[in-house]
Amino acid sequence: MSSITVAETTTRKELTSNVTRVEDFDVEKLSFQFRKTDKGSKSVNITYNGKPLYLDFPLIKTWGATCWDDNVTNVSMNLAFGGDEARWSDATRAFYDCLMSIERAIKDYAQEHSEQLFGKVKSAEILDELMNAFVRQNDKYGPSHKVKFQYREGDDVPYKCEIYDMNGKPEYLVSRKKSEDGTTLPLPQGEGEDAKTPLDLIKKVDRPFVKGVLQVGSMYFVSGSFGVSTRVIQLNVRRSHNMVGSGVNYVSTRDTESMVLKAIDDSEKAYAEKVENETTSYTAAQDSEDEDEDEEEVEQEAAVVEPEPVVEEKPKKKKVVRRKKKVSKA
């Protein structure tokens, strides 16, 4: 099994003995321990062979890491099995069966101890309504399982999950590592405000697939409902390669390109020379035509005789003769 770091205080040997492959999961080794605090809050620890349950799950599709209402302290990710079960691999089927057996065990425990947990006996049908689904079913997209990223406010590295690429190269670490000569190495995600987070490393646009280790937590009780959450401990991320927008040139160079490029250059050079010659000839012809036109204009201007100015005669005024009115004698 490949090396995995769950926590700074956990050694590789201890971890290997604590992690269970989903193919090897045995629900009979699952146990529940009820706890109640002095303040009255309740919880139920879930263990596997008396230890915390860590599951090593296979490569599976995800829609990316998301946060609720832009709250970076509440980041989660859905692991999507897909709607076509016929296309599931044996490992995918084992993962689904593992989660479903855990869900049934949780429901069985809740029904058997419903009076202790809820104050009165509740039927299986009522508990189905009260329980937040461990595995969500969807007729169109298939089942999915929601995992969370643990966040600790104020820590230099707030998300308690380690992320690697498919080759094991670190992309997000919870602590600084040292080289062979003892030099402290920088965090791969960067530091401060510019540090990358799971939201940056597991994006929906990359159509990612993930595999890794998750931890099954305790049963929780909120506002009458109950459920069990899981958190990511470690991930390997496979991203699909989108050529458009990647900023990477994927076009290959072939040996014959130099010959093709030379032929193109020669053709363009010959064409440019042809255009230049035609342009020169056209310009010379235009200059000659312009000179001829200029000479004709000068000759025409010299031959033009300006006409004498025409003097307009003023119209004669018509003389009006008024007759005197005869006065009759009395």
Give residue-wise pLDDT tens across range 142-154. 999 999 999 999 8
Q: What is the pLDDT of residue 4?
A: 39
- Which class for 28: exposed (0-12), middle (13-18), buried (19 or more C-beta within 10 A)? exposed
Distances (CA, A) of 87 to 59, 82, 93, 142: 14, 8, 10, 12
Q: Where in the chain are the domains?
A: 12-24+45-180+189-238
User: Is this model's pTM higher than 0.75 or not?
Assistant: no
pLDDT value of residue 223: 86
- b/e per residue 140-168 (b: at least 16 CB within 10 A): eebbbbbbbbebeeeeebbbbbbbbeeee
Q: What is the pLDDT of residue 1?
A: 35
For the chain (330 residues), the mean pLDDT of every run of 10, in chain order, is: 40 67 97 87 93 96 93 95 92 97 96 93 94 94 96 92 95 88 88 92 94 96 92 95 69 75 81 77 63 57 54 56 54
Q: Tens of pLDDT along 48-101?
A: 999 999 999 999 999 999 998 889 999 999 999 998 999 999 999 999 999 999
The pLDDT, as a whole number, for residue 278 is 74
The residue count of the chain comes to: 330
**Termini Cα distance of the chain:** 160
